[in-house]
Amino acid sequence: MELAMKVAEAVHVLNHDTQSCNRVAANQWLVHFQQTTAAWEVATAILTADPRLLPLASDFEVEFFAAQILKRKIQNEGYLLQLGAKDALLNALLVGVRRFSTGPPQLLTQICLALSSLVLQVVAHGNPIEQLFYSLQSLQSQDNGNIAVLEMLTVLPEEVFDNQRFESKISSLHKSHYTQEVEELLL
């Protein structure tokens, strides 16, 4: 949790410090941090932790930064994760979706983008998109849960059809399978 607090402090300095040298140093530290393996755990902790336990990290800017870290790391390194780690990350992102289903909307979008990217890489599970929406069904019974489901319906097709991002990581067979699965869910 100490590292999460350092991330929160660096994000605050980056966005609010009046000294440009402090902002540059914070930016350099954050860029380096994003490249570490600890970034996975810290970003996940920020998005899933009880706000009372991590008060500094429970700030929109910090949470948004954490969601962006996970989105980028999943897109760039997610295929390297072991299946168990992908499952744990999937569950953590679902917790984040539940937590932020009432807002802020930009944060929910980032978490849904990360979740979509992860789901598209979990090829070993058969029908990952169908399983995702099965997991999201519990949200529909919660207040504003449909907002999260609608956000997933918005960002998932964008992720599936984004050829630039997935062309080198997902075979055309998988793209075809995902396209068919999304079409079936939308009918």
Tens digits of per-residue pLDDT, 85-112? 888 898 899 889 888 888 899 999 999 9
pLDDT at 36 over 50: yes
Contact 74, 86 (CB under 8 A): no
Q: What is the pLDDT of residues 133-146, one digit of tens each?
A: 777 776 666 666 67
For the chain, the domains span 2-186
Q: Whole-prediction pTM value?
A: 0.78
Q: Tell me if residue 155 falls in helix, strand or coil.
A: helix
pLDDT at 33 over 90: yes
Percent of the chain's residues with pLDDT above 90: 37
* Mean pLDDT in residue range 144-160: 76
Give the pLDDT band (50/70/90) at residue 44. Answer: very high
Tokens of 55: 């008060």
Residue 27: closest CA among 15, 45, 42, 44: 15
What's the pLDDT score for residue 162?
67
pLDDT at 55 over 90: no
Q: Which fold has domain 2-186?
A: Leucine-rich Repeat Variant (1.25.10)
Alpha-carbon distances of 113 from 23, 44, 68, rounded to whole Å: 27, 14, 9
Residue 175: closest CA among 187, 186, 159: 159
Give the pLDDT band (50/70/90) at residue 123. Answer: low
Packing angle between helix 128-140 and helix 105-121, nearest 10 degrees? 150
What's the pLDDT score for residue 16?
93
